[in-house]
């Protein structure tokens, strides 16, 4: 009996020992497997990074219209020290992925395939996002030593210059709140405050070409949003066309932020005289009556400016206590030329004084005779006309007709056909692009995601902002605007934006605010600058403690320009304040130009069984 128990105990001990040996051996095999897997994954990720470097070093290597490029095929693999990894081979493929049209950003995939001597395969994909020019809060291709960051200027977000970055602490040191890079050096860096540091002598980033900007024409043509604008030329600042973004409360829920509530409208001069052109964007009136001069009373007979006309000032009948233009008052006032001048000067200096862009409904007497919520629309006047959207074919959608404007008025059938949808619900072919063949003035409030490209100057005729302010949309899916031109982006010196003389004294406050606001990304192959920057009034307004002629220029977005232009000169012009919209880097405007450089977005594992790069890229490319 004792012998049997001894034998059983010995067998148990032997079994445990054998089990331990097997477990140890299995653990060793597992460890070796995982070690091999880690090496293969590291080699694959190295191939992805090497592929990204190749894409950034050879711009345009990725096929733009689909397909893929083979960067490596069964190539030998080296470790970080440059030594060959015995028996390992690597193949690397690169191509566009996702929607490759560029409307929603530009992405590429680099796929790295690693095979070891035993035939094991690892396939890893790196999704790359192409860097948009919109990611830069400020980008200056060329710089000018006479134009410096100074006077307490605040710059938020990334800034890059391809030439020397000039700073000065005259009037207060400029503060750079984001990262700063330059392909050259910083002139007197000690005079600026660089909260996130700076890098000098980095690689230059070439600007896009005029031909690249012109490619957007095809998208606008397909979407029915291609327009003819004004004359083209670097000195053409009085376009015959203006475009105003207008949100409409379609579902009558009291807000304007639904996806289908974005529209714009187009006003165009019906003649080519200087009066017609001045009227479109509210410029100083080009003619004055006898008895005064353009320097004393430039808007004596303006069709854009006016105020409430009282009986004491000569108003009669239905005109008493009504807002009227200076043109109307001068023409209607009875008596001598002196009486007419006095009446016009009275409305231009009244507390109710305002100037409006051409075609604005507040310029017409019928607007005041039909109070909100009644619908009111005037399609044309003596100087221009609103353009109907051809896609309505004369009859707009009923929900647009019954929608509400921001002033509480009902849109109505007459106005509705002149509203151009910036949404696919009412325009299935809309690509997010508006293209103007010529110069154009812009203003309004944008609902949607739009890029406006023009072949001529783009004039900022009045504030241009979003329905959902930047920073209020954490997912970056609400409103975003791109503005592209090979010419100038100009802060217009018009009667709405800037003070002008009445009876030889500068008068201010012809708009709701002296400041000029812009939300969006501007890319110009010339400059962003103030029209007639050194002219006009001086020290009429204060901006962050600095006296200036026209107020603050509040830009929230991205400013990309060929050469840094002047927006303030002495006490004249606007004092620029640059703020950054982080959504420009996350979800840039449709088809906004890219730098050609890629950065890593995320990594993915791909099942190696039956992997074929041609099949994968075919299945993962859309929008071709």
Position 16 scores a pLDDT of 64
Q: Give me the mean pLDDT over the 71-99 stretch.
A: 91
Q: Which residues pair with 185 in a beta bridge?
A: none
| Residue with more model confidence, 598 or 32 | 598
528 band by pLDDT with thresholds 50, 70 and 90:
very high
- The pLDDT score that the predictor gives to residue 4 is 63
Q: Cα–Cα distance between 356 and 354 in angstroms, integer?
A: 7
The mean per-residue pLDDT over the stretch 74-101 comes to 90
| Diameter of the chain measured on Cα atoms | 142
**DSSP-derived 3-state class of residue 484:** strand
Q: Give the number of C-alpha atoms closer than 13 A to the C-alpha of residue 222, restricted to the C-beta side.
A: 12
Q: pLDDT per residue over 454-511, tens digit each?
A: 999 999 999 999 999 998 999 999 999 999 999 999 999 999 999 999 999 999 999 9
Q: How confident is the model over 322-338, as pLDDT tens digits?
A: 999 999 999 999 999 99
- CB of 538 closer than 8 Å to CB of 511: no
Both tokens of 200, joined, read: 């000098």
Quickly state the pLDDT bin for 147 (edges 50, 70, 90).
confident
Residue 30 has pLDDT above 50, yes or no: no
Name the pLDDT band for 29 (thresholds 50, 70, 90). Answer: very low
pLDDT for res 522 = 98
Residue-wise pLDDT tens digits, 402-457: 999 999 999 999 999 999 999 999 999 999 999 999 999 999 999 999 999 999 99
Phi, psi of 540 (to 5 degrees): -85, -20
pLDDT, residue 12, reads 63
Instruction: Give 3's pLDDT tier (boundaries 50, 70, 90).
Output: low
**pLDDT reported for residue 485:** 98
Of 22-36, 53-67, 268-282, 579-593, the range with the lowest mean pLDDT is 22-36
Any long-range contacts for 413-417 (C-beta under 8 Å, 24+ apart)?
A: 414/375, 414/377, 414/379, 415/375, 415/377, 416/392, 417/388, 417/389, 417/392
* Top-confidence residue, 236 or 521: 521
The rounded mean pLDDT for the chain is 91
Q: Is the pLDDT reported for residue 24 higher than 60?
A: no
pLDDT of residue 105: 79
Give CA separation, 600 vs 145, 290, 537, in Å.
Answer: 36, 68, 50
Mean pLDDT of 87-100: 92
> Would you state the pLDDT for residue 171?
72
Q: Tell whether the torsion through CA atoms of 39, 44, 47 and 53 is positive or negative.
A: negative
Residue 28 pLDDT > 60: no
Q: How much of the chain exceeds pLDDT 90, in percent?
A: 72
Q: Return the higher-pLDDT residue of 574 and 155.
A: 155
Cα distances (angstroms) measured from residue 620 to each of 92, 95, 109, 611, 617: 17, 10, 10, 13, 5
Q: What CA–CA distances, in Å, run from 333 to 328, 342, 490, 502?
A: 8, 9, 37, 18
CA-wise closest residue to 306 among 280, 331, 327: 327
Q: Residue 20 above 60 pLDDT? A: no
Element (H, E) at 605: strand 594-606
Question: Which pLDDT score is estimated for 242?
Answer: 99
């Amino acid at each position: 009996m004792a012998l049997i128990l001894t034998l059983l105990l010995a067998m148990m001990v032997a079994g445990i020992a054998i089990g331990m040996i097997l477990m140890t051996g299995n653990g060793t095999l597992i460890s070796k497997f995982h070690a091999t897997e880690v090496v293969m994954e590291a080699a694959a990720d190295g191939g992805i990074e090497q592929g990204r470097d190749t894409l950034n070093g050879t711009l345009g290597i990725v096929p733009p219209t689909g397909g893929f490029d083979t960067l490596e095929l069964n190539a030998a693999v080296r470790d970080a020290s440059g030594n060959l990894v015995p028996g390992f081979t690597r193949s690397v493929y690169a191509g566009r992925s996702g929607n490759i049209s560029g409307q929603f950003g530009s992405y590429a995939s680099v796929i790295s395939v690693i095979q070891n001597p035993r035939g094991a395969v690892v396939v890893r994909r790196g999704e790359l996002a192409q860097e948009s020019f919109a990611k830069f809060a400020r980008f200056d291709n060329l710089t000018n030593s006479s134009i410096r960051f100074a006077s307490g200027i605040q710059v938020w977000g990334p800034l890059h210059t391809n030439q020397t970055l000039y700073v000065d602490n005259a009037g207060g040191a400029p503060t750079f709140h984001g990262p700063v890079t330059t392909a050259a050096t910083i002139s007197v860096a000690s005079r600026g405050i660089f909260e996130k540091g700076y890098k000098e002598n980095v690689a230059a980033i070439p600007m896009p070409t005029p031909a690249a900007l012109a490619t957007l024409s095809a998208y606008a043509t397909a979407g029915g949003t291609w327009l003819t604008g004004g004359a083209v030329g670097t000195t053409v600042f009085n376009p015959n066309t203006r475009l105003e973004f207008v949100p409409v409360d379609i579902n009558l829920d009291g807000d304007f932020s639904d996806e289908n509530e974005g529209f714009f409208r187009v006003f165009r001069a019906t003649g080519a005289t200087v009066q017609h052109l001045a009227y479109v964007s509210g410029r100083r009136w080009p003619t004055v009556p006898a008895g005064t001069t353009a320097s004393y009373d430039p808007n004596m007979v303006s069709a854009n400016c006016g105020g409430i006309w009282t009986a004491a000032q000569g108003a009669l009948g239905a005109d008493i206590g009504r807002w009227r233009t200076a043109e109307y008052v001068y023409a209607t006032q009875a008596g001598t030329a002196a009486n007419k001048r006095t009446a016009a000067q009275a409305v231009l200096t009244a507390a109710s004084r305002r100037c409006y862009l051409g075609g604005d409904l507040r310029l017409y007497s019928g607007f005041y005779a039909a109070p909100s919520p009644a619908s009111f629309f005037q399609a044309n006047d003596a100087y221009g006309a609103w353009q109907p959207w051809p896609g309505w074919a004369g009859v707009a959608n009923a929900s647009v007709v019954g929608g509400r404007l921001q002033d509480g008025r009902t849109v109505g059938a007459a106005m509705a056909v002149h509203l151009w949808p910036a949404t696919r619900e009412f325009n299935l072919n809309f690509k997010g692009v508006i293209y103007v063949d010529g110069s154009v003035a812009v203003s309004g409030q944008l609902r949607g995601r739009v890029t406006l490209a023009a072949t001529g100057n783009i004039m900022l005729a009045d504030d241009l902002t979003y329905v959902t302010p930047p920073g209020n949309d954490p997912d970056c899916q609400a409103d975003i605007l791109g503005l592209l031109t090979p010419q100038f982006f100009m802060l217009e010196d018009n009667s709405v934006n800037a003070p002008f003389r009445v009876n030889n004294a500068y008068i201010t406050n012809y708009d709701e605010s002296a400041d000029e606001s812009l939300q969006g990304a501007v890319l110009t192959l010339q400059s962003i600058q103030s029209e007639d920057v050194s002219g006009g009034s001086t020290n009429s307004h204060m901006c962050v403690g600095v006296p200036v002629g026209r107020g603050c220029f509040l830009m929230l977005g991205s400013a990309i320009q060929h050469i840094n232009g002047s927006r303030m000169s002495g006490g004249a012009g606007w004092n620029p304040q640059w703020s950054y919209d982080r959504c420009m880097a996350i979800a840039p405007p449709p088809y906004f130009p890219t730098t050609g450089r890629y950065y890593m977005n995320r990594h993915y594992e791909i099942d190696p069984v039956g992997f074929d790069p041609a099949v994968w890229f075919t299945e993962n490319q859309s929008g071709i």
